[in-house]
Amino acid sequence: MTKAADTSKLVRAALSEDVGPGDWTTLWTVPAHAHAEAVVIAKAAGVIAGMEAVYETVRQVDPQVTVREWVGDGDAVEQGTRVLELHGAARSLLAAERVALNFLQRLSGIATLTREHVNAVAGTGARILDTRKTTPGMRALEKAAVVMGGGENHRFGLHDMILIKENHIAAAGGIRRALEAVEKSNDQNLPVEIEVRDLEELEDVLLYRVDRILLDNFSVGDLRTGVERVRASDGARPATEASGGITLRTIRGVAETGVDYISVGALTHSAPALDLSLLLELR
């Protein structure tokens, strides 16, 4: 669940963008006394996410509108499934329609794509992670949608985990200098992860204590070798994570190497919206 204040701010901005000074079409064509029922239908199979944003949109447009869920966040739906109903003033339902659906379609698309990746690695022990490749301002909602789809969240931002990547290593002057600098400065005891590009760099990293090693753009063969090498290392074994161009077609082979985590940026940067429609009837 995201912070209520964050969702409220996002919805307020979305309504300001969409409604602006007024929904003149609705105000000039729909009588003020008209009441209606609006039904949201899934036009494709998927996983629902984003109910929190729907409720907040309705609340901001008209607190008198009522919402009835037929399915909830994280539920799988088939084509034709009734997702939710809205009851209230017809003008209010029409004003809320697009913003509510935009949130619900976008977030359900992320949950749906995440579930497909989770299902693709079922039984291997690998866990699916998101990344920071999110829509600006939408990160909390999009990461919540990943969880609804059965995935897990990587770090939320730059502040809650140390992730030393290729450019950090280059700017620091090498793996040794980067890791030693973090060890010296990490008075917050943040978890530490470091990216390696090949098996040689992996050997260098295994001389230090880290929480997780990111095996980036490894072939399946090298990834399997790297995972086995980490498991054979002395002391506390760091977790392993694979990333880099992994698709639904290739992810099973990656998971079968024994890697602990697989991070997939596409979950949030390339998920197609789930096709949903809203049908309104006067009551």
Q: How many CA atoms, within 13 angstroms, populate the side-chain half-sphere of residue 66?
A: 5
Residues 6 or more apart in contact with residue 200 via CB below 8 angstroms? none
Known active-site residue 98: yes
Fold for domain 119-269? TIM Barrel (3.20.20)
Closest CA to 73 of 106, 49, 47, 45: 49
Q: Which of 142, 195, 241, 260 is catalytic?
A: 195
Q: According to the model, what pLDDT value does residue 279 have?
A: 96
The predicted-structure confidence for 214-257, as pLDDT tens digits, reads as follows 999 999 999 999 999 999 988 779 999 999 999 999 999 999 99
Percent share of the chain, pLDDT over 70: 99
Q: Is 133 designated active site?
A: yes
**Catalytic annotation, pick one of 132, 155, 165, 252:** 165
Nearest to 114 by CA among 143, 78, 80, 84: 143
- Global confidence as pTM: 0.95
59, 133, 224, 252: which is the annotated catalytic residue? 133
Residue of 23, 193, 216, 260 marked catalytic: 216
Residue 169 to residue 160: CA distance in whole angstroms: 19
**What is the tens place of the pLDDT at every residue in 150-196?**
999 999 999 999 999 999 999 999 999 999 999 999 999 999 999 99
pLDDT over 60 (residue 1): no
Is 195 designated active site? yes
Q: How confident is the model at residue 268 (pLDDT cuts 50, 70, 90)?
A: very high
Instruction: Summarize pLDDT for 80-132 with one digit per residue, the tens.
Output: 999 999 999 999 999 999 999 999 999 999 999 999 999 999 999 999 999 99
- Average pLDDT in the chain: 96
> Closest Cα partner for 73 from 54, 50, 100?
50
State how far the Cα of 241 lies from the Cα of 195, in Å rounded to an integer.
Answer: 9
pLDDT of 122 reads: 98
Query: What's 4-113+271-282's CATH class?
Result: alpha beta
**Residue 173 CB coordination number (10 Å):** 10
Choice among 98, 132, 176, 224 that is catalytic: 98
Q: How far apart are CA 88 and CA 67, in angstroms?
A: 9
The domain spans of the chain are: 4-113+271-282, 119-269
